[in-house]
Structure 1
Amino acid sequence: MTDNQKTIHYNAARFLISASKLSQCPEDTGAEVAFAGRSNAGKSSAINALTNNTKLARTSKTPGRTQLINFFDLNVEGCRLVDLPGYGYAKVPIAMKEHWQKHLDQYLQQRYSLRGVVLVMDIRHPMKEFDEMMVEWCQSTEVPLHVLLTKADKLKKGPAQSTLLKLRKELTDILGDKVTIQLFSALKRTGIDSLSRQLDNWLTLPAVSEEDHEQSEA
């Protein structure tokens, strides 16, 4: 049995390194899944719920405080989770936002080991400007997207399901079978199994070499 056939235990996730630019990221081998989301969408809480570790991803009452790309090793060699910088109404200088934007774009465009993106949206405020940007990027690069509609416990079952179905149709029209979407609540710990299955599917895909990547773009 190879490493990529072993069961991934997300509660074994451990901090690996932080990077402010692509050149500081770990070696671009293996497989990783990146979490992205606007400030206050619940991204850090989702990662912490998935890994059953409330201290793994930094949570802050100050939106946009996390300014680095944070990497977490999993128990299967070469498999990683990635926490991307949050955007939105972060009270930071324009120059710093532009720095984040530049290096986030480079990571998303050039990272061969990236298997998929988990886009975290507050179910009460879906498809804001940052979310639309991420959807457009996934459309142009054909990288699979999984949408987590977080804080689902804040809505009753009917409205939550209605939002899910509406957004699923909207995104499927854009991304086809490259997108999946689910409800999630870190507070109630609902949706963790569905998220784990999606990550398992991505992280156990065969490795993509730089040569394969270039051929697919040709």
Structure 2
Amino acid sequence: MNRTLTIVKTAFQADQMGGISLPQVALAGRSNVGKSSLINCLAGRRQLAKTSATPGKTRSLNFYEVAPLAYCLVDLPGYGYARCSKAERDKWAELIGLYLRGNDLLRGVAVLLDCRLEPQQNDLTLTGYLQHLRLPIMAVLTKADKCSQKERAQRQRQWGDLLGGGEPPLVFSSKTGLGREALWRRLDALAGVNGADAAATAPGEP
């Protein structure tokens, strides 16, 4: 089925995060892991999410509504490489923490991980924190076009073991579109919606 993404809210501080009552799936990852490119690939649009050669440009929580399935993807600020002061990094961390903790609308977090790299400490810290909060985690291995099949399988095993089983991490490439439809299906499932049912009942469709 065709899905559309529309940005409906940008939050730079806690009091700007409310006002949306839809189920939500957060997107989290390092500053250079390719979150903006992934969003653009999902949307089929090049400039929906701004990309930059300088990591760390996303400094807000960006809410994208998924139609016709009525849930939101929430792009969190990246971590690891942002060129800014410690005070500003701490501010982002506080904002992300406020969003993640006690959020009844949050159904889970898609954690984006660079397929080319061994598990990094800040990724392990994030996944450990999410496990502590008992939030469902979906691992997505980005930039898979830059890895061999053997390297992809190795990284899937590593992260599968670290995250304790369940569905294996999904390999994805925003450049080639590898894994795009599978990612949409997993996001739909994590949000608790059924894409097949929505496609069958969408207005104007036979």
TM-score normalized by the length of structure 1: 0.82
Contact 1:29 1:112 in 2 (8 A): no
| Counterpart selection for 1:134 from 101, 126, 139 | 126
Are the structure 2 counterparts of residues 153 and 77 from structure 1 closer, same or farther at C-alpha, using a change threshold of 3 Å?
closer
Shift of 1:77: 6.7
1:146 equivalent among 116, 138, 160: 138
Say whether 1:111 aligns with 2:67: no
* Aligned-residue offset at 1:26: 3.5
Q: 1:33 to 1:126 in 2, by over 3 A?
A: farther
Q: Which residue of 2 aligns with 1:210?
A: none
Q: For the residues of structure 1 that align with 2:37 and 2:114, how far apart are their CA atoms? A: 12
Partner of 1:215: none
Give the drift of 1:126: 4.3
What CA distance in whole angstroms lies between the structure 1 residues aligned with 2:13 and 2:102?
12
Distance 1:129 1:22 in 2: 27
Instruction: State the alpha-carbon separation in 1 of the partners of residues 38 and 85 from structure 2.
Output: 27
For 1:165, the equivalent position in structure 2 comes to: 157
Structure 1 residue 187: Cα displacement = 0.7
Q: Contact 1:117/1:146 (CA < 8 Å) preserved in 2?
A: yes
1:87 partnered with 2:79: yes
Is 1:98–2:90 an aligned residue pair? Answer: yes
Structure 2 gap ranges (5+): 194-206
Deviation of 1:30 (Å): 2.2
Indicate the SS of the match to 1:74.
strand
Contact in 2 for aligned 1:29/1:78 (Cα 8 Å):
no
CA distance in 2, matches of 1:43, 1:137: 20
Paired AA for residue 174 in structure 2: A
Unpaired runs of 5+ residues, structure 1, are 1-6, 206-218
Conservation of the 8 A alpha-carbon contact between 2:113 and 2:139 = yes
1:192 paired residue number: 180
Following the alignment from structure 1 to structure 2, what is the Cα–Cα distance between the partners of residues 122 and 203? Answer: 23
| TM-score, scaled to structure 2 | 0.87
Q: What is the CA-CA distance between 1:193 and the residue it aligns to? A: 1.4
Q: CA deviation at 1:150?
A: 0.6
Q: Structure 1: how far apart are the matches of 2:157 and 2:74?
A: 28
Q: Shift of residue 28 of structure 1?
A: 5.0
Letter in 2 for 1:161: A
* Contact 2:26–2:108 under 8 Å retained in 1: yes
Q: Secondary structure at the match of 1:14?
A: strand
Worse-superposed segment, 153-162 or 91-100: 153-162
